[in-house]
């Protein structure tokens, strides 16, 4: 019991330190390993843009464009509900799951481990994918990628049209709620397309999402009703290939 109290006390001190650093306006209050340059840490964080604040706490990143910026392809009301309510719910859920896991470690009582591990995976994957989703879109989007990303798509899928056909088919075909995801596979240093059910099921390990489309009904039902395919076809017009290419460039450089 003494060990546990000491642990909690230490944890409290560490938490207070982080809070004080945040109040003082420190750029980075999360310690960085001595052999890990801060620039590397920032680059890694940028892969899932806006997912955490300067203190390393999960936050809902603001949209970088207006709610109506993606019209007529994605309507403003859908964007407002999707971002402000649905995505916010995943952030709250992830924070709550991690708090519960910390409570379990502190108490030594892991009776709820299955439930809270599942919640952590669900809400965490949901939070991270939405960060990439918002960041990959913009007004005046569409077209095709250029540069290194275009070359990699050519190499790994046999051309942009073949890639687009597979990505569209995968996204339209997700059973129930989920995502179509273009991801960088670390093991093979190549691009792969995945179907995720919910946010976290059916994907390989060691993938970093580069571009993804949300095919949960909350992403399209107000405007497209049951026509998911029409939504996916229209969604291509929102893709900000410059941003997607920048994200791919960070991975390729790593
Ligand atoms: Mn969603």
Task: Give the model's pLDDT for residue 38.
Answer: 55
Highest mean pLDDT of the ranges 37-41, 44-48, 176-180 = 176-180
Lowest mean pLDDT among 8-12, 87-91, 93-97, 137-141: 8-12
Residue 17 within any structural domain of the chain:
yes
Average pLDDT value for residue range 25-31: 40
Residue 160 within any structural domain of the chain:
yes
Q: Name the residues around ion ligand 1, CB cutoff 5 A.
A: 86, 214, 216
Ligand 1 centre distance from Cα of residue 103 (Å) = 29
| DSSP string of 131-177, one letter each residue | HHHHHTB-TT--S---HHHHHHHHHHHSSHHHHHHHHHHHHHH-SSS
Q: Which domain holds residue 155?
A: 147-249
Task: Give the model's pLDDT for residue 20.
Answer: 30
Lowest mean pLDDT among 12-16, 41-45, 57-61: 12-16
Ligand 1 centre distance from Cα of residue 23 (Å) = 32
Residue 108 within any structural domain of the chain:
no
Residue 118 within any structural domain of the chain:
no
Higher-confidence position of 121 and 35 = 121
Residue 21 within any structural domain of the chain:
yes
Ligand 1 centre distance from Cα of residue 182 (Å) = 16
Average pLDDT value for residue range 17-40: 42
pLDDT digits (tens, 9 = 90+) for 44-67: 888 999 999 999 999 999 999 999
Task: Give the model's pLDDT for residue 205.
Answer: 86
Task: Give the model's pLDDT for residue 85.
Answer: 98
Q: Does the structure show a pLDDT above 90 at 99?
A: yes
Lowest mean pLDDT among 38-47, 176-185, 191-200, 223-232: 38-47
Ligand 1 centre distance from Cα of residue 11 (Å) = 34
Closest CA to 204 of 218, 229, 185: 185
First to last CA, the chain: 45
Share of the chain above pLDDT 90, in %: 78
Residue pair 233/22 in contact (Cβ under 8 Å)? The answer is no
Ligand 1 centre distance from Cα of residue 171 (Å) = 13
Closest CA to 249 of 127, 139, 152: 152
Residue 153 within any structural domain of the chain:
yes
Task: Give the model's pLDDT for residue 206.
Answer: 87
Residue 232 within any structural domain of the chain:
yes
Average pLDDT value for residue range 89-95: 98
CA distance 129 to 247: 14
The number of domains in the chain is: 2
Average pLDDT value for residue range 74-89: 98
**Residue 173: which CATH number?**
3.55.40.20
Residue 114 within any structural domain of the chain:
no
pLDDT digits (tens, 9 = 90+) for 114-134: 999 999 999 999 999 999 999
Task: Give the model's pLDDT for residue 42.
Answer: 78
Task: Give the model's pLDDT for residue 39.
Answer: 59
CA atoms within 13 A on the CB side of 244: 31
């Amino acid at each position: 019991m003494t060990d546990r109290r000491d642990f909690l006390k230490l944890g409290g001190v560490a938490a207070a330190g982080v809070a004080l650093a945040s109040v003082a306006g420190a750029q980075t209050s999360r310690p960085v390993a001595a052999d890990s340059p801060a620039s590397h840490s920032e680059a890694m964080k940028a892969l899932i843009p806006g997912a955490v604040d300067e203190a390393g706490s999960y936050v809902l990143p603001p949209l970088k464009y207006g709610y109506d910026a993606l019209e007529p392809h994605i309507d403003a009301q859908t964007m407002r509900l999707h971002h402000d309510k649905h995505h916010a719910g995943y952030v709250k859920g992830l924070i709550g799951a991690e708090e519960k896991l910390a409570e379990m470690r502190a108490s030594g009582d892991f009776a709820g481990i299955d439930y809270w591990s599942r919640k952590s995976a669900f809400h965490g994957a949901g939070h991270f994918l939405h960060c990439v989703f918002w960041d990959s879109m913009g007004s005046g989007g569409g077209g095709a990628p250029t540069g290194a990303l275009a070359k990699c798509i050519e190499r790994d899928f046999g051309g942009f049209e073949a890639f687009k056909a597979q990505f569209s088919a995968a996204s339209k075909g997700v059973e129930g709620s989920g995502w179509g995801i273009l991801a960088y596979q670390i093991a093979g240093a190549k691009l792969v397309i995945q179907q995720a059910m919910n946010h976290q099921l059916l994907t390989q390990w060691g993938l970093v999402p580069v571009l993804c489309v949300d095919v949960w009904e909350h992403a399209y039902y107000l405007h497209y009703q049951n026509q998911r395919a029409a939504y996916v076809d229209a969604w291509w017009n929102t893709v900000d290939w410059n941003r997607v290419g920048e994200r791919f460039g960070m991975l390729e450089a790593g």
